Amino acid sequence: MSEVTARGTAGTAIVVDGVSKKFRLFHERNQTLKSAIMRGRRIVADDFWAVRDVSFEVPQGQTFGLIGRNGSGKSTLLKTLARIYQPDEGRVVMSGRVSSMLEVGSGFHPELSGRENIFLNGSILGLTRKQVTARFDEIVDFSGVEAFIDQPVKNYSSGMYVRLGFAVAVHTEPDILIVDEILSVGDGAFREKSRKKFAEFTGQGRTVILVSHSLAQIRDMCQQVAWLHAGRLRAIGATEDVVEAYEASIEAEST
Amino acid sequence: MSYGRELIATRELLLNLTMREVKGQYRRTALGQLWSIINPLATMVVYTLVFSLLLRSEPPPGDPSGLDVYALWLMCGLLPWTYFTRVVNGGVASITSNAGLIKKVYFPRMHLPLSITLSTAITFGVELGVLTIALWVFGGFPLPWLPLVMIAVVILAMFATGLAMMLAILNVHFRDTQHFVSILLPMWMFLTPIIYPFSLVEAAAERTGAWVLTVFELNPMLHIVQVFRTLLYDNALPGQLDWLAAILAASVVFSLGYLVFSRNERRLAELL
């Protein structure tokens, strides 16, 4: 994977080239030694292609949206981009440091304080201790949990928990940020703050790729959108064109 | 980027995961880190009662240290064994118990079992420190041997981690593994001369045949425990065969574990 970053030039941030990802569907979802032995060598799994031969490029400094119905392969594709899944076919090339926000606060330890968890979560997302220290005040300020920063996070309200996780993730300052359905975090004021942060992000030549079911949000934030249907790329292009076509297909189906 | 270089580049994460284990473990307990001392002490009392007082297990006195205290002799073998089981048990479960994290963020997964190895090493270090003081109080001179003990700790840690990494991968496929391991480890302990002296094995071999000795000697933990005990209790240099067997077993098992784990780690997220 390329580690070279050419931030500022209008290059390509992400190249997705013929990516396919399959899962094995076991008829007997029984992962025990006994069932493996009883099965013997019979194959009882079917291949299910969650993502099939998807190719596109995302230019630098853009917010790129992925839309599609439930089960269309958006999240699988996103996880492949985030290196959590390995594609079975094709390849993904990312230029620069990648950070993913598929779930905020993953890796928080409930018994540890907010402060300790910021350092823990920061390093899970690829920051050094120095970098976290440098951004610590900004993170706390953004999350709005100053008063409780030395309390164990298990005592946090769900909103505080998510806001703190979100604050750490946006402050990792990656070249490419992968976001899954988490922009609905917090109250109106916090959402507005997040939206501004994302605008600032792309303004600095960083790239954001996001999945959302909120078409209003997609329209608001994305310059380009890819529409996935049953694992394949149905359409890609300027946000308005693709979202309109998508809405039309949903309407056609529901009438 | 090769897997090894990626591990090194993200070493701070390993440190933080280790601290998460250390700090999280005894949170909300009144005695805190003291528990890591109380635990082996309690075991020591019970084993000493049963095996020294009732069953009259009499290990030979330390040579040349002159120590002749069953409880101390026991701990010189039991503490390394306890560390071994903590690393294996913790390591085996480290992948499945962090499934949420693995499915949501990418990082080199090997840091999970490694963080167990390191966090339990801190406990082990404290225990060894207390034991060293006790040995010294009772008339031994363990201090000059501590550098070699450190090497033995590294050997033991590598052996345990290698095994833990292989079993952790197996546990993702078959959750039976961790239950199997929790049965196997106590059995393994009783087949290793930890609570009884090796001389009992030699005596049994004389009665039933030399094959008994061979079987026991094939157990790498026998040699590792022997290294610890010779250094700490006898205050002598362990035999070449014990060193060699311990180093060989640790290198082979760790390399295998590393290979198995790094080959399989990219698929962990979808298997969990």
Overall size of chain A counted in residues:
255
Q: Could you tell me if B208 lies within 8 Å of chain A, comparing CB atoms?
A: no
Whole-number pLDDT of residue B15: 92
* pLDDT tens, position by position, A203-240: 898 999 989 888 888 898 899 999 999 999 999 999 99
Nearby residues of B96 by Cβ (< 8 Å), 6 or more positions away:
B171, B172, B175, B178, B272
Q: Which residues contact B263 (CB under 8 A, 6 or more apart)?
A: none
Contacts of A178 in chain B (CB under 8 A): none
**Subunit contact A129:B20, Cβ cutoff 8 A:** no
Contact B104 A85 (CB under 8 A): no
What integer pLDDT is reported at residue B264 of this predicted model? 93
Interface check B5 vs A, CB under 8 A: no
What whole-number distance in Å separates Cα of residue A70 and Cα of residue A229? 9
> Which of A124, A130, A168 to substitute to test the interface with B, most B CBs within 10 Å?
A124
Contact residues, chain B, for A112 at CB < 8 Å: 20, 23-24, 27
Kind and range of the H or E run holding B230: none
Is 0.90 exceeded by the ipTM? no
Q: Write down the mean pLDDT value for chain B.
A: 92
Write the DSSP string, A182-251: -TT-S-HHHHHHHHHHHHHHHHTT-EEEEE-S-HHHHHHH-SEEEEEETTEEEEEEEHHHHHHHHHHHHH
User: Which residues on chain B are in Cβ contact (under 8 Å) with A33?
Assistant: 174, 176
A111/B23 touch (CB, cutoff 8 Å), yes or no: yes
Cβ-Cβ pairs closer than 8 A, A with B, add up to 75
Amino acid A100: pLDDT = 82
Q: Any chain B CB within 8 A of the CB of A6?
A: no
pLDDT value of residue A185: 64
Would you give per-residue pLDDT tens digits along chain B (272 residues)? 588 998 998 889 999 899 888 887 777 788 877 888 888 899 999 999 999 889 888 899 988 888 999 999 999 999 999 999 999 999 999 999 998 889 888 899 999 999 999 999 999 999 999 999 999 999 999 999 999 999 999 999 999 999 999 999 999 999 999 999 999 999 999 999 999 999 999 999 999 988 999 999 999 999 999 999 999 999 999 999 999 999 999 999 999 999 999 999 988 988 88
Looking at the predicted structure, is the pLDDT value of residue A6 above 80?
no
pLDDT band at A183 (very low <50, low <70, confident <90, very high): low
pTM: 0.88
How confident is residue A39, by pLDDT bands cut at 50, 70 and 90?
Answer: low
Q: Which of A1, A100, A152 sits opposite B105 (nearest CB)?
A: A100
Query: Is A112 close to B16, i.e. CB distance below 8 A?
Result: no
pLDDT for the residue numbered A9? 47
Q: What is the pLDDT of residues A103-134, one digit of tens each?
A: 777 778 888 899 999 998 888 888 888 999 99
Q: Give Dmax over CA atoms of chain B in angstroms.
A: 59
- Nearest by CB to A103, which of B17, B104, B107? B104
pLDDT greater than 80 at residue A33? no
Closest CA to A144 of A125, A128, A159: A159
